[in-house]
Structure 1
Amino acid sequence: MATGSWRADNNPMDNWQYLRASWQYLNQFLEISENVEWARDQVASDLFKKRFQGDAYGMRALYMYHLLMSCAGWSADGQLLGIPILKESENINSDFNKPRNTFRECLDQLNQDVEKAIEMLPEEYGDVNGASNVPAKYTQMGADPSQYNRVFGDHAKNRMSARVARAIRAQAALLAASPAYSEGSGVTWEQAANSMAEVLANLGSNPIENIDPTGNKWYEDANGIKNLVAGYNRPEFLWRSNKNESADLEKDQYPPSLFGKGRVNPSQNLVDAFPSLTGYPISDPKSGYNPQTPYANRDPRLALYIIYNGSKAGTDKSVITTAFDGSNNDAMNKFDGASTRTGYYLRKFLDMNVNANPSNTTNGYHIKPWIRYTEIFLGYAEAANEAWGPQGTGSNSYSAYDVIKAIRKRAGIGENGGDPYLESVKGDKDKMRELIRNERRLELCFEGFRFWDLRRWKVDISKLNETVKGMKITGTNHEVVDVEKRDYKDYMYYGPVPYSEMLKFDALIQNKGW
């Protein structure tokens, strides 16, 4: 895909069919659910109907967000289009040849679905004690604590909630306010910032005080993950998957010497994005960066997320040698299909207590974040900087500068208790934008954001086509080498409507260039 094969009929990112089918099922459910007796107790039945319908509206909003990310785009005649909006289920007699609605209309539909989800669902699930703790919207339906707990209690935690629905709305607002979409969406950076702030209000009147101090390395707490009660979240997580006990992730990502397949090879481009320990970019002379000892005195997140030459990994803390002249299959390009192509292996997400040896495999517990508070903090920082500048707060109590200061402090970078590089850019909106985008790149690396971020920011095409670099180490020599060329075209800031759909339905308009 990245090397020139991305086409409307060859799209690895295509989710049109799957998510449109999901919309169909949700529409069917919303129609049928009105006539279902969910419980013999009438109040409980009404509460279940609220919960299930709220679930459906929230999921419909989520699917719309992902469809807009992957399929929205500008037509040849200058319209910013989304998808055909379907609010009723289809049958064999339906007219399937429907035009795409505008991006704005799709966003309005998403926001309407979010409002319905918020109206129907609790802020968070959990048992309550006493009638005074039952939310008012449910006491008005006649619910007592027993009935409320039956429907919205601890057993239902980690489902779609009002809190999650607000986060989906905030994600969509950030997308819509971004340079690739803002001209046709009508959404401002101020609106996006306030949507993010509404979600962060979950953490208190000054959310920054409650940022999770271990939120950038949650996966290292193996026992904490193991002991999570179903549905309960770590402070970093707004929404997550269920925990899973396996060694699959480690088998896929460990270096070969640890019996892994080394599938993800981080790039030198990403490694270079991690600043020095003092917080200065390594391109800045004040960083003290030495290209012959490139991993010394670096941002601690580099060692948290990436295995580099000399890193220790695995149950026995083995030294991993990725150097080109290394003696085992961990070495760069040593063994086709498992050895690193870039000089790096993935560390993020992995449980180093897992043994992937086929003769003595041990499992670990993993959870996948769907929405992290760090994502929301960074979304707020991005939008707030654009709306009010680095230190502006709008109607909120904290600025983009405040957020980035807290995130970098948590990461352990800076000097003498301060962050001189951050202080040097806090008065410059453009430099702060660059820093915020880089912090987003680092904090959310390997979580599926970067491809979408670069495109919604409408970065110069040369950035999309930046050659993937690697580090070739031979003896004491460190050489940055080309690994893979990129071949994106200008029109690829937006994805295509599937070619198969264009053949079937002439009412559809394709995005320009596809």
Structure 2
Amino acid sequence: MKKYLPVLIATSLSLTGCADLLKPEVENLPGKEAMYKEVTFAQGFLLNGYTRLPGLSFNDVATDDAVSNDKNNAFQKVATGQWTANFNPADQWVNSMAAIQYLNTMLAEVDKVTWAIDPKAAQMFRDRIKGEAYGLRAFYMFQLLRAHGGWSGGGELLGVPILTKPQDTNSDFNQPRATFEACMQQFYSDIKQAETLLPLDYEDVSTAGQVPSQYAGISPEEYTRVFGQYSRLRLTARIAKAIRAQAALLAASPAYKTGTTTTWADAANYAGEVLKLIGGPDRLAANGGTWYDNRTEINSLGAGINPPEILWRGDASNSRNLEEDNYPPSLFGRGRINPTQNLVDAFPMANGYPISASASEYRAQAPYTNRDPRLQRYVVTNGSTMGPSNTVIRTETGAGNDAVNQIETSTRTGYYLRKLLRADVNLNPIGANEQRHYTARIRYTEIFLIYAEAANEAWGPDGQGTFGFSARDVIRAIRKRAGIGTTNNDAYLTSVQSQADMRQLIRNERRLELCFEGFRFWDLRRWSEKLTETANGIQITNGNYAVIPVENRAFAAYMNHGPIPYGEMLKWKALVQNKGW
């Protein structure tokens, strides 16, 4: 065979050419330099930051608000003792660090890109791109601090490595974690840059007077080209302000406050600044509590327009995934997320009193009568109707597949999820349909609740700061919208006078208003509250209602803060793990 090898090689060379055979093909992968003249390619570095924005996680399953009938649910494993640095469905490290790398690349190269031939337009594009990149980088810093910030064994509150330049093959990847405070200061700096460079909202302008002063001399048409409606759903100065309020609330909270300089007053002021833009509690969206099922509003969304409740959202599209996962089995769903009795008990009576109060008129054997209207809006209870045909859902013993633990897709708690679902989705194979949904990234109700919590801690229940409204004013508006206390002017809210009592009421309102939107998992931790509350359900037999334990929680005290990923700890000696992990 060896004597024929030269002949074979010569024949191959004659057929293919030396260059084709002996040199690797040039890959069709553009390098970083390609972005300088290819605007679409350059935009990809920024858009990577948008594509990584987190969606719904249903981490409520790892709290006292919900369980799942899916044995493989990752957050259920977390709640029952399997949370480790090597198994962490709440991890934000890889996703956020990757986003920051792309955003840093964008910031490093943005001035070299030919965004437009006209120099004025090119400068506006550079400003907008920079503003978006700074704002998104701050957002991902917030995600990292919430998921991975924590106390070291040495008693120092640590954040994550601060990376403000793109890393390459020559970079030192073995970077230590900066202090939580240093991370917050970097966060605030990035938010300030975003606020300076971005418009409050993306709107078309028609007159020279509408063009901001820093772009004086630029025509309305030129300004609209860059900062007009076409860019809606991207980051704005308004969104940046809201993200600042979110992060400040985290930093001021009990689990972090001794390691930061951010105060409750800071958080209240940042939230108040956002709310002042819309006019305060009087402008709380009347239908904001059912934003996910406001069908006419959702179906008519266009051109990136936000409903009054929504400050930042994802794009709207047709789907039925949420309904397939969470409708009861009688409606052809999997019944995955099961609200707990704990959450149901947190809803007050319609007169505003907690069910434990003597004035509530609560009856244990008629537990859903005269309750806060939000209970039926967010949770399917025994006897509720659901779906496009208003099917009655029966969860009592012997009532069929919707009853507790009847089949694999039955509820474990006696309750099914209603919130986030559109009731006009039909899963019946004969007439199955899809309906429009969107992800609410930031709701104004969340910002109102941030203000209420921080204002109460900073100034007490009735302190107004410089905004002209108090924590009590905000909570009154939220409860009034919910339909609470309409017959007695919410006497319970009036009776709450101390800061401590108002704190508990605000936290409960936050629990109810934001349930199943991914907040309680983090709220319990930043409040340093008990994580091991047993998840309970209800067993209804022959008209008798009995509370039953459904799932124990197995969280250790150190789990108030999440871990640094195990893989990162193996790779980089400079990293310090959070205490306990």
Fold conserved (TM > 0.5)? yes
Taking the aligned partners of 2:403 and 2:513, their CA distance within structure 1 comes to 27
Taking the aligned partners of 1:443 and 1:138, their CA distance within structure 2 comes to 41
Structure 1 contact 325–475 (Cα < 8 Å) conserved: no
Amino acid at match of 1:73: G
Among candidates 429, 453, 462, match of residue 523 of structure 2: 453
| Identical-pair percentage | 54
C-alpha deviation, 1:387, in angstroms: 0.6
Amino acid at match of 2:425: V
Structure 1 contact 71–495 (Cα < 8 Å) conserved: yes
Structure 1 contact 268–471 (Cα < 8 Å) conserved: yes
Amino acid at match of 2:470: S
Taking the aligned partners of 1:256 and 1:151, their CA distance within structure 2 comes to 49
Question: Are 2:412 and 1:341 aligned?
Answer: yes
Among candidates 476, 496, 512, match of residue 442 of structure 1: 512
Structure 2 contact 536–550 (Cα < 8 Å) conserved: yes
Aligned counterparts, 1:306-321, within 5 A = 306-321=379-394
Question: Are 2:475 and 1:420 aligned?
Answer: no
Structure 1 residues 320 and 47, CA gap change in structure 2 (3 angstroms): same
Question: Are 2:431 and 1:360 aligned?
Answer: yes
Amino acid at match of 2:578: N
Structure 1 contact 325–473 (Cα < 8 Å) conserved: no
Equivalence for 1:255: 328
Unaligned runs of 5+ in 2: 1-77
C-alpha deviation, 1:17, in angstroms: 1.1
Amino acid at match of 1:306: V
Equivalence for 2:282: 209
C-alpha deviation, 1:417, in angstroms: 4.7
Taking the aligned partners of 1:22 and 1:224, their CA distance within structure 2 comes to 32
Taking the aligned partners of 1:229 and 1:275, their CA distance within structure 2 comes to 37
Question: Are 2:358 and 1:285 aligned?
Answer: yes
Equivalence for 2:101: 24
Structure 2 contact 480–486 (Cα < 8 Å) conserved: no
The TM-score with structure 1 as length reference comes to 0.97
C-alpha deviation, 1:415, in angstroms: 4.4
Q: Deviations 1:95-126 (Å, cap 9, x if unpaired)?
A: 11110000010000011100111111100001
Structure 2 contact 276–467 (Cα < 8 Å) conserved: no
C-alpha deviation, 1:421, in angstroms: 0.5
Among candidates 88, 94, 98, match of residue 175 of structure 2: 98
Equivalence for 1:5: 82
Structure 1 contact 324–333 (Cα < 8 Å) conserved: no
Question: Are 2:459 and 1:370 aligned?
Answer: no
Taking the aligned partners of 2:274 and 2:292, their CA distance within structure 1 comes to 23
Aligned counterparts, 1:464-475, within 5 A = 464-475=531-542
Among candidates 486, 491, 502, match of residue 558 of structure 2: 491
Q: Deviations 1:282-322 (Å, cap 9, x if unpaired)?
A: 01121111010100000000000000100001111010001
Amino acid at match of 1:334: Q
Question: Are 2:366 and 1:296 aligned?
Answer: no
Q: Deviations 1:152-174 (Å, cap 9, x if unpaired)?
A: 11111121000000111111110
Structure 1 contact 75–509 (Cα < 8 Å) conserved: yes
Aligned counterparts, 1:177-188, within 5 A = 177-188=252-263
C-alpha deviation, 1:395, in angstroms: 2.0
Equivalence for 2:197: 120
C-alpha deviation, 1:363, in angstroms: 1.1
Taking the aligned partners of 1:437 and 1:132, their CA distance within structure 2 comes to 44
Aligned counterparts, 1:149-164, within 5 A = 149-164=224-239
Structure 1 contact 472–478 (Cα < 8 Å) conserved: yes
Equivalence for 1:89: 166
Q: Deviations 1:57-99 (Å, cap 9, x if unpaired)?
A: 0100000000000000011111100000011111111111110
Equivalence for 1:55: 132
Taking the aligned partners of 1:344 and 1:86, their CA distance within structure 2 comes to 45
Among candidates 118, 123, 127, match of residue 46 of structure 1: 123
Taking the aligned partners of 2:259 and 2:145, their CA distance within structure 1 comes to 13
What SS class does the counterpart of residue 3 from structure 1 fall into?
A: helix
Amino acid at match of 2:505: L
What SS class does the counterpart of residue 297 from structure 1 fall into?
A: coil
What SS class does the counterpart of residue 250 from structure 1 fall into?
A: helix
Taking the aligned partners of 1:323 and 1:110, their CA distance within structure 2 comes to 51
Larger mean CA deviation between 273-282 and 414-423 belongs to 414-423
Unaligned runs of 5+ in 1: none
Taking the aligned partners of 2:322 and 2:84, their CA distance within structure 1 comes to 30
C-alpha deviation, 1:197, in angstroms: 0.5
Equivalence for 2:245: 170
Taking the aligned partners of 2:488 and 2:214, their CA distance within structure 1 comes to 48
Structure 1 contact 125–154 (Cα < 8 Å) conserved: yes
Taking the aligned partners of 1:96 and 1:158, their CA distance within structure 2 comes to 34
Taking the aligned partners of 1:137 and 1:109, their CA distance within structure 2 comes to 25
Q: Deviations 1:333-362 (Å, cap 9, x if unpaired)?
A: 0002x1000001110111111111123211
Structure 1 contact 230–242 (Cα < 8 Å) conserved: no
Structure 1 contact 16–67 (Cα < 8 Å) conserved: yes
Q: Report which of the two structures shows the higher radius of gyration computed on alpha carbons.
A: 2
Structure 1 residues 412 and 13, CA gap change in structure 2 (3 angstroms): same
Taking the aligned partners of 1:172 and 1:224, their CA distance within structure 2 comes to 30
Taking the aligned partners of 1:50 and 1:190, their CA distance within structure 2 comes to 31
What SS class does the counterpart of residue 4 from structure 1 fall into?
A: helix
Taking the aligned partners of 1:449 and 1:193, their CA distance within structure 2 comes to 18
Taking the aligned partners of 1:133 and 1:118, their CA distance within structure 2 comes to 18
Structure 2 contact 86–565 (Cα < 8 Å) conserved: yes
Structure 2 contact 287–294 (Cα < 8 Å) conserved: no
C-alpha deviation, 1:325, in angstroms: 2.1
Taking the aligned partners of 1:12 and 1:324, their CA distance within structure 2 comes to 34
Equivalence for 1:383: 454
Structure 2 contact 351–488 (Cα < 8 Å) conserved: no
Larger mean CA deviation between 6-15 and 66-75 belongs to 6-15
C-alpha deviation, 1:137, in angstroms: 2.3
What SS class does the counterpart of residue 489 from structure 2 fall into?
A: coil
Equivalence for 1:146: 221
What SS class does the counterpart of residue 127 from structure 1 fall into?
A: coil
Structure 1 stretches of 4+ with a deviation exceeding 2 A read: none
Equivalence for 1:267: 340
Q: Deviations 1:126-146 (Å, cap 9, x if unpaired)?
A: 10110001122222xx42100
Structure 2 contact 203–228 (Cα < 8 Å) conserved: yes
Taking the aligned partners of 1:484 and 1:339, their CA distance within structure 2 comes to 15
Instruction: Kindly tell me the number of residue pairs found equivalent between the two proteins.
Output: 504
What SS class does the counterpart of residue 482 from structure 1 fall into?
A: strand
The TM-score with structure 2 as length reference comes to 0.86
What SS class does the counterpart of residue 199 from structure 1 fall into?
A: helix
Question: Are 2:396 and 1:329 aligned?
Answer: no
Amino acid at match of 1:76: G
Q: Deviations 1:397-422 (Å, cap 9, x if unpaired)?
A: 01001000110011001143500100
Taking the aligned partners of 1:262 and 1:323, their CA distance within structure 2 comes to 16
Question: Are 2:473 and 1:402 aligned?
Answer: yes
Amino acid at match of 1:185: T
The CA RMSD over aligned residues, in Å, is 0.9
Amino acid at match of 1:444: L
